[in-house]
Amino acid sequence: MSQENVEIVRKVYDGWGGSDPSQAFDYLDPEVVWEAIEDAPDAGTYRGHSGVKRHMDDWLQDFEDFAFECGQPVEVDGRLVLEQWWRNRGKGSGLKTEIHYAAVYTFRRGKVLAIKEYNTRAEALEAVGLRE
């Protein structure tokens, strides 16, 4: 189950950073709730496809050449914890950036229903009742 869910998550990010960002929505439940890291520049809660599209469009205005990597998945009670690296390049500046964080994913009927981002893997694991 976790490898299948990891592939769903990869497809979300591959769509977002690919030539057709709308493909990400094939893997997001229409009622998706995406909670960005609380102290991040894009902090906030994005609801439904329209909210997530605003979130994605904001990133796509400033960055390009996206690459997504994730660490070893941990599955707890149907939720998936992933440590993640999101690499991209600033439009105009050409500066390469890397964001290292973790997220907890919840799924419904083969799609992502909820995403909650955390600064660290330890915080994400604690959110699902585990310790590192």
- The CATH number of the domain holding residue 46 is 3.10.450.50
Domain count, the chain: 1
Q: What CA dihedral angle connects 34, 110, 6 and 62, to 10 degrees?
A: -40
Residue 100, pLDDT score: 95
Does residue 10 form part of some domain? yes
Q: How far is CA 122 from CA 1, 14, 47, 73, in A?
A: 22, 25, 25, 13
Residue 1, pLDDT score: 61
Does residue 112 form part of some domain? yes
Q: What is the largest CA-CA distance in the chain?
A: 43
Name the DSSP class of 55: H
The domain of 51 spans 2-127
Does residue 67 form part of some domain? yes
Does residue 132 form part of some domain? no
Q: What pLDDT digit, counting tens, does each position of 39-49 carry?
A: 887 889 999 99
Does residue 19 form part of some domain? yes
CA-based nearest residue to 29, from 52, 3, 57, 10: 52
Task: Using the predicted structure, report yes or no on whether residue 95 has a pLDDT greater than 70.
Answer: yes
